[in-house]
Each structure stands twice: as structure tokens, then as C-alpha cells.
Amino acid sequence: MIILGVADGPDASAALVVNGALVAAVAQERIDRERHSRAFPSGAIDAVLDVAGLRARDVDRVVFGGTSSHASILRARPHLRDRVTPRWREAYRGYQAALRASGLYMVEQDIARKLLEPKMRLLGFEKASIDLHEHDRAHATAAYRCQDRSDALVITLDTPGDGAAVTVSVGRHLQLDRVFLQTSLASISTFPERIAQVLQIDAIHLASLAAGGTVPDVLRDAFTRQVGTQGDGFSAKGLGGNTDPLLALVRRHAPADVAAAAQHAIEEAVAAFVRHHVARMRIGHVVVAGALFANPRLAARLLAEPTVESLSVFPAMGDEGLAIGAALGVAGTPMRRLATSGLGPRYTETHCYKALSVASLPRDKVDDPEHAAARLIAAGRTVARFDGGLEVGPRALGNRTVLFRADDAAIRSRALAALKRRDWASVGCALLVADAGGAFADLDRSEASARFRTLAPRALPAFAAAHPGAIQRDGTALPYVVDPEDAPGMATLLREVRRLTGRHAVAQLDFALGDEPIVCSPGDAIRSWRASDIDALLLGPYLVERSSLDT
């Protein structure tokens, strides 16, 4: 059975499940190079089929993650996009919540199916059945089935989708039974997004900005009232429009302090919510997904809860993960720990050679790319590494990444500037699983999350002192824990850096220029590298050094 999962809307994506195994997944933004792409994911669909060596006619089922019709309607009537104001968006969320509460959302689902079926037929999916999977269930399914705890408490916290923003489900023996749902009127679903809008940043960067701020008492109290818990869920209060008096208060404070106060309020509200439902259901193994869990400090805060025995954050936690959950939800696939997020397009040595040739760059092949990169890193150079499958989710691991020494904060500043990033942007650190215990406490309770850069724990003092270039201003870090079986190339690189420098970790940034999406193809990598000031590009087995081009 070949099942194609599709997410149509913000962060559009596609995923492919073949005979119960997840074999490919990619976000449309990586293909069309438009951040948070809202285009119909035809490019992503083509990409996942290419990964598996299949065609549209081979697919038995197409399953959409989400049942709302608004994406299809706006695509069919593009002139309506100009009328989608924040007030209209809030009204639509209220409409969705009312539909969900009344049970009439099946009408919306029928409309969506009628709009999508002819689209898929035109794309060649002639024999495939067309199904729709609820937004929140797709998130929960992806998170639950891509880890190995049979008995788990599955929590989704998301921007509103299909009228739901907050869900709690109990997972047992491959089954998910939802025990709590809160509609899109929950404040936690819109508060981070609204604060990010005021600060003019992407919501995913809220935690990074917060790391450099302090929490003013007046903002802490005001924000806590906005996003506190109420009963089994969250309060229905929200941050209003431009005339909201709270916004005037916000604008009197430094952006980093606003972010820190918002981060504190979010962490405490979600921790109280999780604590409540862990006690209520008596299950301490927690699995999470949804856009709010793109916040790595929030995940680390949940690990501080004594009743949380383990935590697994699905690496494609935002709407780009809906395609995965939709496909897995109808596949009946067994639970399987996700070994890698590198489920996107792979490129051969020939692809890399041709791209370098077109760009008129040297085609100098190295016999041992990992050792060559390690030597450059040890010498204080910044290296963009392009290898293996493109990662799905908001963060690259080792396949589309920029690497540099973690023991020199000056190199960190140079790398951020080279990629045109803000000086407060988060920096990851890659280290071997054997070294992780001496770097961070309690990672054994969130081993899976640490392998995907989805939580920001506080670094132990000795590790922090030795690796200042990978530590945030608040003492936290964003670890990528490398298992040699899952990522042998990165493991070799880390061992060689340690041999040359004596340091256990290498600092890393996503290979993306400014606010662009993470690079996908060799051509993307070359264009981004040329426009940056990164010292070297390792494109598969080919090494290009900027210094050699200047001579």
C-alpha cells in the first residue's frame, strides 16, 4: 500500500508511506524557496515520489492533514487574500471553533474534498482514493507513531486548525483516544504568535530573543493573566488588536525583555497544563507536537517537571508534519523510533559536480570529506556541509548545516554575520551521544528530542565554560546528539574535531541565508554560500574554499 500524505495551507508539505514505512517527507518551502509556503505542495509531492522512485499512478491513497476548505478557496480566489486581515482571521477562527463545537465541521470537510479531488486527478492521481484527516489528529498521530513508548500521553498545542488548538490523547497499543479538546479560542494558541508579530519576528525565534532578556514584574503579571490555565485547559483571553492597552505596555519595554516575559508566561502555563493532565491520566511518558513545541526552551521546562518521566518532541512539530501524521494515520504502521529527519531529497555526486560546473566553481574532490571538514573547523574556519537527505522540520541537523568551533565566541559572531542572522539567533551544538551526559543533565529522559535539536536544556558548568560559542546568554544550548549508527558521517567529523582540538562539541547553524528556508538542492547551497561569507563549502565529496577563489 502506497499512501501520500499532503498538508495544504501554511507550511504546506508532502510525505510518503510505503507498506507501513515512512520513506520520505519534505516541506514545500524548501522546494519553492518561499518561507512558510502557502502554495499547493505539488513540488513537495513530486519530491517525495522521486525519493521513493514512484509516480502518481502508483499511489493507492492520498490523505490530507486537515479538513478545512479555506486554503483551497483562497487559492481559487486569490483576490480574497488581500482581505484576510487579523480581524478576519480571528472571525474565521471563531467560526471554526463554532463548527467544531456543533459537530457541523463535516460540512466543511465535504467542501474541502470536493475542491481537492479534481486537483489531485489533474496531477495524475487517477486511481487513488482521496481522504481527509483531522488537523489535530494528524499532529498527534505523527508524534505518537514516530517514537517507541506504547503507553504515552500525547499533547498537541498548535495555532488553530480545524477549530481545535489544544488536545490531550492517551496512546495505548497503537491506538489514540482523545480525552480533552479545547477549541481555537484558547489563548495559548494565539498569544505567542501575537507577541511575535508585535516584536516583528517569526514566532519560532521567540525563545532565542528571550534568552538575552530579563522578565519585568509588570509584564510577567500581565502576561500570566493572559495565558493562564482554567479548568482542564487554558484561559480564553487573548492579546487584542492595536488598541489593546496591554500593547502600549509592551512597547515601553525592550524587545528581549518582552520576549523573556512572554516566554516565562508560556512556560509556566504549559507546565501547569501538562502537570494537570499527567496527574489526571496517571501517565508520565509525554509525547508532544504542534507549532508551540517549536520552542525548545518550553520543551526543556517540561523536563523540569518531576512527574514527567520522559519527553518526546516530534521534530516536524509544526504544520509541515501534518502530511506525515495524515499518512501514518491511515497506514496502520507499527510504532517506530524515527532514526533521522533526513527524509527529503538526496543528491548524488553527479548532481553536485554538475551544479559546481554550472556555477564555474572548482570541482576538487576530497577522499575523506569529514576529515577535511574537521581540519578546517579546527583551524577556526566556518564550513557549510551539504550531504545526505534534506531534513524535515524547522531545524537542520548535519545534512544542511554550517559548522564551526564551539570554544570561541568570536567565531560564533562571525558565523552569524556571515549568514546574515541576528546576533541573538540561537546556535546549536553537535556532540556524540557518548559525550552528552557530561554536557547536559537529564537528557536520558528526552533522548529522542535531543537527537533532533528540539529542546534547550541548561548546559553543565564545565561544558559551558569549554564551549562558549554554543551557549545562549541564559546558559542554555540547543544540542544535536549524534548517534554514530544514525549519522556515521557526522560522528566521524566530531571524533576528528575532538582529536584535533580536545573539544567534544561543534557549533552549528542551519544552512540558510538570513530568513530564507534551509537549502534543499546543490544549486541552493551554492547560491546561499556565494551570497554569504562562510569560509568553505563541502558539497558532497567536493570542497570549495573561499580563500582559493580570491587568489
Does 419 share its domain with 505?
yes
The dihedral sign for the CA sequence 76, 82, 83, 89? positive
Exposed (0-12), middle (13-18) or buried (19+): which is 122, by Cβ within 10 Å? exposed
pLDDT above 80: residue 70: no
Residue 508 domain-assigned? Answer: yes
Question: Is a pLDDT exceeding 70 seen at residue 123?
Answer: yes
- Does residue 429 sit in the same domain as residue 450? yes
Residue-level pLDDT at 269: 95
Which of 91, 116, 138 finishes a domain? 138
| pLDDT at 109 (0 to 100) | 75
Q: Are residues 255 and 398 in the same domain?
A: no
Residue 357 vs residue 104, higher pLDDT: 357
Would you say residue 79 has pLDDT above 60? no
pLDDT over 80 (residue 99): no
CATH code of 174's domain: 3.30.420.40
Compute the half-sphere exposure of residue 173: CA atoms within 13 Å on the CB side of its CA.
0
Q: Which segments within 406-484 are labelled E, that is strand? A: 428-432, 478-482
So what's the pLDDT on residue 77? 55
Confidence at residue 71, expressed as pLDDT on a 0 to 100 scale: 59
**155 three-state secondary structure:** strand
122 and 31 both lie in a single domain: yes
Q: Which three cell numbers stand for residue 74?
A: 483562497
Domain encompassing residue 38: 2-138
- C-alpha grid cell for residue 551? 587568489
At 14-49, the pLDDT tens digits run 999 999 999 999 999 999 999 999 889 999 999 999
Q: Is residue 210 part of a domain?
A: yes
Tell me the C-alpha distance between 445 and 148, whole Å.
13
109 shares a domain with 154: no
Write down the pLDDT at residue 415.
Answer: 98
Domain stop point among 98, 114, 138 = 138
Point out which residues pair with 161 in neighbouring strands.
164
Mean pLDDT of the chain: 91
Does the pLDDT at position 89 exceed 90?
Answer: no
Average pLDDT over residues 278-290: 97
* Closest residue by Cα to residue 25 from 344, 341, 340, 377: 344
Residues 102 and 232 in one domain: no
117 is a domain residue: yes
- Do 503 and 366 belong together in one domain? yes
Nearest C-alpha neighbor of 340 from the set 381, 397, 394, 379: 397
Q: Are residues 278 and 392 in the same domain?
A: no
Identify whether 49 is part of a domain.
yes
Instruction: State whether 157 and 98 are in the same domain.
Output: no
> pLDDT value at position 320?
96
Question: Is 98 in the same domain as 242?
Answer: no
- Going by pLDDT thresholds of 50, 70 and 90, the confidence category of residue 434 is very high
User: Lowest-confidence range among 94-108, 113-127, 229-243?
Assistant: 94-108
Q: Which residue has the higher pLDDT, 253 or 82?
A: 253
Closest-CA residue to 314 (of 145, 474, 160, 464): 145
Whether residue 475 is found in the same domain as residue 367: yes
- DSSP E strands: which ranges in 392-477? 400-405, 428-432
pLDDT band at 372 (very low <50, low <70, confident <90, very high): very high
pLDDT value for 243: 55
> Which of 166-175, 456-465, 506-515, 542-551 has the weakest average pLDDT?
542-551
Mark whether 184 and 94 lie in a shared domain.
no
551 versus 280: the higher-pLDDT residue is 280
CA distance 29 to 38: 8
| Residue 334 counted as domain residue | no
318 within some domain: no
- Which are the contacts of 56, defined by CB distance < 8 A and separation ≥ 6? 45, 49, 123, 124, 125, 126, 128
Is the model's pLDDT at 88 over the cut of 60? no
Strands (E), 424-533: 428-432, 478-482, 505-510
Least confident among 178-192, 253-267, 372-386, 393-407: 178-192
Question: Residues 477, 471: contact at Cβ < 8 Å?
Answer: yes
C-alpha–C-alpha distance, residues 232 and 277, integer Å? 8
Q: What is the mean pLDDT of residues 392-419?
A: 97
More confident of the two residues 175 and 85:
175
Paired with 190 in beta bridges are: none
Residue 446 lies in a domain: yes
Backbone φ, ψ for residue 542 (5° rounding): -100, 130
Residues 187-245 have pLDDT tens digits of: 787 889 889 988 999 999 999 999 999 999 999 999 998 888 999 999 876 665 555 77
How far apart CA 483 and CA 119 sit, in angstroms, is 42
> Count of domains in the chain?
3
| Mean pLDDT computed over 135-149 | 95
Query: What pLDDT, on a 0 to 100 scale, did the predictor assign at position 257?
Result: 97
Which of these three, 313, 340, 371, is where a domain ends? 313
Q: Please report the pLDDT score of residue 345 as a whole number.
A: 98
Residue 493 within any structural domain of the chain: yes
Q: Quick: pLDDT tens for 505-538.
A: 999 999 999 999 999 999 999 999 999 999 999 9
